[in-house]
């Protein structure tokens, strides 16, 4: 409904053609845009429940096929960014907690704050300039090389990882800072608890205390952030995919908004909502696995 209130019309894709006003009106009738807005929504909902996502206004192909083609690259980018966010954030947070109030702790806290405060689009442009333009280490965009289709499985996978590295680092590191600060604070609190003192008095090795007892208590709140991480990743992946020309769901939705391609916008929004709901359920399950106190008997 909000996109309908924005200026523009789906028939604007024919602006450069010699189409008459009558032809434009005929296209609007064919697309059903001459109907009242509630009727358009109910008709779309009825088709969607039967498995028909409609046909794109901007490209003559089914929306479901476009979503399937874009979903894979988005999931690859999102899972890689999640691994960087939680893997890098947990390691940085543990290091900061172990070297509390020392130079490494201060460095990690400053770095975490800088990463968390950096806009994704700005960090992406800086990364492209530094690692693609100034030093040709990573590609500046896209998910594969031109000759990737002719490569065998292993070289094709390496080519994908080569293109994935820079956008995944940009998307993951911007959130890793917040994870590192959360892990640091929780771990410091857990290491100073009475239960940990009792474990030390019993002669339990410090490494086991850190990674098993205190670590589990410190990671329980971090796991809960997974429910918020996926929506943030989806919104951040839109910017990242546009900056790096990554052929994913975010870039598809961005192009659809520009073209007022309502079927694609609705489908991508509905799918994003489903992913957010699934992530919330997964976060609850992981929270129960990490923290036995929240399990139900």
pLDDT at 297: 46
Q: pTM for this structure?
A: 0.80
And the tokens for 106? 């201060």
pLDDT at 291: 62
Which residue blocks in the chain are alpha helix, DSSP H? 2-5, 21-31, 37-49, 63-98, 103-117, 120-128, 153-191, 194-201, 206-208, 215-224, 226-243, 249-259, 262-290
Residues whose CB is less than 8 angstroms from the CB of residue 121 and which lie 6 or more positions away in sequence, other chains included: 239, 242, 243
Q: What SS3 class is residue 62? A: strand
- CA atoms in the 13 A half-sphere facing the CB of 71: 15
**Cα four-point dihedral sign 148, 153, 157, 162:** negative
Whether 259 and 266 have beta carbons less than 8 Å apart is answered as no
pLDDT at 164: 92
SS (H, E, C) 68-122: HHHHHHHHHHHHHHHHHHHHHHHHHHHHHHHCCCCHHHHHHHHHHHHHHHCCHHH
Category of 142 on φ-ψ map: left (φ > 0), alpha (ψ -120 to 50) or beta: left
Mind listing the pLDDT tens digit for each residue in 150-187? 888 888 899 899 999 999 999 888 888 888 888 888 88
Low-confidence ranges of the chain (pLDDT < 50): 297
Whether 253 and 238 have beta carbons less than 8 Å apart is answered as yes
Q: How far apart, in whole angstroms, are the C-alpha atoms of residue 133 and residue 104?
A: 31
Of the candidates 201, 66, 58, the residue with the CA atom closest to the CA atom of residue 74: 66
């Amino acid at each position: 409904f909000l996109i309908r209130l924005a200026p523009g019309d789906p028939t604007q894709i024919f602006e450069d053609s010699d189409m008459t006003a009558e032809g434009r009106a005929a296209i609007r009738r064919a697309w059903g845009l001459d109907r009242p807005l509630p009727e358009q929504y109910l008709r779309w909902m009825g088709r969607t429940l039967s498995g028909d996502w409609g046909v794109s206004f901007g490209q003559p192909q089914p929306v479901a096929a476009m979503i399937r083609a874009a979903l894979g690259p988005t999931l690859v980018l999102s899972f890689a960014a999640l691994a960087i966010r939680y893997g890098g954030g947990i390691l940085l947070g543990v290091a900061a907690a172990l070297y509390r109030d020392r130079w490494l702790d201060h460095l990690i806290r400053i770095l975490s704050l800088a990463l968390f405060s950096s806009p994704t689009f700005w960090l992406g442009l800086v990364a492209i300039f530094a690692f693609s333009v100034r030093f040709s280490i990573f590609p500046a965009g896209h998910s594969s090389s031109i000759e990737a289709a002719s490569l065998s499985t292993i070289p094709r996978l390496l080519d994908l990882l080569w293109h994935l590295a820079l956008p995944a680092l940009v998307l993951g590191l911007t959130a890793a800072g917040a994870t590192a600060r959360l892990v640091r604070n929780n771990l410091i609190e857990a290491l100073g608890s009475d239960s940990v003192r009792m474990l030390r008095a019993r002669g339990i090795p410090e490494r086991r205390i850190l990674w098993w007892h205190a670590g589990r208590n410190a990671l329980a709140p971090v796991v809960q952030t997974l429910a918020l991480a996926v929506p943030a990743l989806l919104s951040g992946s839109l910017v990242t995919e546009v900056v790096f020309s990554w052929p994913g769901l975010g870039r598809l939705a961005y192009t659809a908004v520009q073209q007022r391609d309502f079927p694609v916008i609705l489908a991508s929004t509905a799918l994003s909502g489903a992913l957010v709901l699934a992530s919330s359920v997964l976060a609850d399950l992981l929270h129960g696995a990490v923290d036995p106190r929240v399990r139900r008997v």
